[in-house]
Amino acid sequence: MHIGTLAAAAGLSAKTIRFYEQAGLLPAPPRTPAGYRDYPAEAADRLAFIRDAQAAGLSLAEIRGVLAIRDAGQPPCRHVTTLIETHLGHVDQRIAELLATRTALQDLHQRAQDVDPADCGPEGICRILTTTA
């Protein structure tokens, strides 16, 4: 299987696959006599795993860690569970931050409705955005 075929199967670009190899996520495949990468069918599974793990919010570095454990013959379950818990914490925190930002933006939007542009002299920068200046 050439890199383009694998790329099409996985829905990635060939560039990305080479990048994953270089980043230690995908083992270097055998080569054809001409030097072309020649992937076994399992490579698509590994890329699918990377996709799933990315969708769960894991970084490539974390995914590399999981793969390394599995490649060493260990079941990475405990490691993965920890990662998931850590990520749940991060995601919850980020959601809380975004909700706060959302509230702030809605306040600003309300203020924008109340401000008459004609009232805006050259003294400040913007009456909508400034806190109390």
Partner DNA sequence: GTAGACCTTCCAGTGCGCTGGAAGGTCAAG
Partner DNA sequence: CTTGACCTTCCAGCGCACTGGAAGGTCTAC
Contact 128, 115 (CB under 8 A): yes
Least distance to its own copies, CB of residue 35, Å:
28
Contact 22, 64 (CB under 8 A): no
With CB cut-offs between 5 and 8 Å by kind, which of DNA, its own copies, none does residue 86 bind?
Answer: none
Cβ proximity to its own copies, 35 vs 119, nearer residue:
119
In angstroms, the CA 25 to CA 63 distance is: 8
Cβ proximity to its own copies, 24 vs 57, nearer residue:
57
In angstroms, the CA 63 to CA 54 distance is: 8
* Surface-to-core class of residue 47, CB atoms within 10 Å of its CB (0-12 exposed, 13-18 middle, 19+ buried): buried
Cβ proximity to DNA, 45 vs 120, nearer residue:
45
49 binds DNA (CB under 7 A): no
In angstroms, the CA 40 to CA 24 distance is: 17
Residues that bind its own copies (CB under 8 A): 45-46, 48-49, 52-53, 55-57, 66-67, 70, 73, 75-78, 80-81, 84-85, 87-88, 91-92, 94-95, 98-99, 101-102, 104-106, 108-109, 112, 115, 117, 120, 122, 124-131, 133
Cβ proximity to DNA, 90 vs 115, nearer residue:
90
CA proximity to 28, closest of 16, 41, 17: 17
Which residues form the interface with DNA (CB under 7 A)? Answer: 2-5, 7, 12-16, 18-19, 31-37, 54, 59-61
